[in-house]
Amino acid sequence: MSLKSSLCPFCSKPKTFIAENRQWAIHLAGHREQIIQYIVENLPSCVLCSYPTHFNEKSTAAAHIRWNHKRKELIIWAFQNLDTIIGKQLLDVPDGSNILFCK
Ligand SMILES: [Zn+2]
Ligand SMILES: [Zn+2]
């Protein structure tokens, strides 16, 4: 089991958050709207479509993601891209460390 330590970039008051992958996924599931906002604000096209779908307007971009992609797809994408979203690498934490949750 590997633990990842990082700030959760989607919490309104970021706290350091250490968890195993599954717990990160559960936590990120609560941030669906924030993840959609992140993609809309920071990326020129839909990262979840197999062929990049360019966004013409932010309002339609958010609707596109909301209606065309499952929550699970968003969570997996966010988890795999946490390093990029946060701007630094996630740290692996030795087993036995205290597990902290930001919620
Ligand atoms: Zn969070
Ligand atoms: Zn899409």
Q: What's the 73 CA to ligand 2 centre distance in angstroms? A: 10
Q: Which ligand is nearest to the CA of 13?
A: 1
Q: How far is CA 64 from CA 32, 44, 60, in A?
A: 14, 13, 6
Statement: residue 90 has pLDDT above 70: no
Q: Per-residue pLDDT averaged across 76-89, rounded?
A: 83
Instruction: Check whether 37 has a pLDDT greater than 90.
Output: yes
Mean pLDDT of 54-78: 90
Question: What confidence tier does 63 reach under pLDDT thresholds 50, 70, 90?
Answer: very high
Burial pattern 5-17, b for ≥16 Cβ within 10 A else e, equals ebbbbbeeeeeeb
Instruction: Tell me the whole-structure pTM to 2 decimals.
Output: 0.77
Average pLDDT rounded to a whole number, residues 56-82 = 90
> What is the whole-number distance in angstroms between the Cα of residue 16 and the centre of ligand 1?
10
Mark 57-76 as b/e (b = at least 16 C-beta within 10 Å). eeeebbebbeeebeeeebbe
φ, ψ of residue 8 in degrees (nearest 5): -75, 115
Section 8-16 average pLDDT: 77
Beta bridge partners of 6: 17
- How much of the chain, in percent, has pLDDT values that exceed 90? 34
Residue 40 CA to ligand 2 centre (angstroms): 11
State the amino acid at position 46 in one-letter form: C
pLDDT at 102: 39
- The reported pLDDT for the residue numbered 69 is 94
How much is the pLDDT for 100? Answer: 44
